[in-house]
Amino acid sequence: MENFELIANLLLDSYQILSIENVEFETKYETPMLKLQSAFNLRGILASKLTNNDQFTLHSEYLQCGRIDFSFASSPDQSYRLRSKRRIDIDNSFDQRLFCLEDEVTSVFQYLVFEFTEIGLNLFTMNATLKNNHLSPTGVMNHVGSWQFEESLGFDQGLADKFNDLDEIAKEEEL
Comparing CA positions, the residue from 16, 8, 40 lying closest to residue 143 is 8
Going by pLDDT thresholds of 50, 70 and 90, the confidence category of residue 61 is: confident
Residue 103 banded pLDDT, cuts 50, 70, 90: low
Strand ranges of the sheet holding 120-131, from the earlier edge strand across to the other edge? 56-59, 69-72, 75-84, 105-116, 120-131, 134-148
- Over 60: is that where the pLDDT of 19 sits? yes
pLDDT for the residue 42: 95
pLDDT band for position 60 (50/70/90)? confident
pTM over 0.75: yes
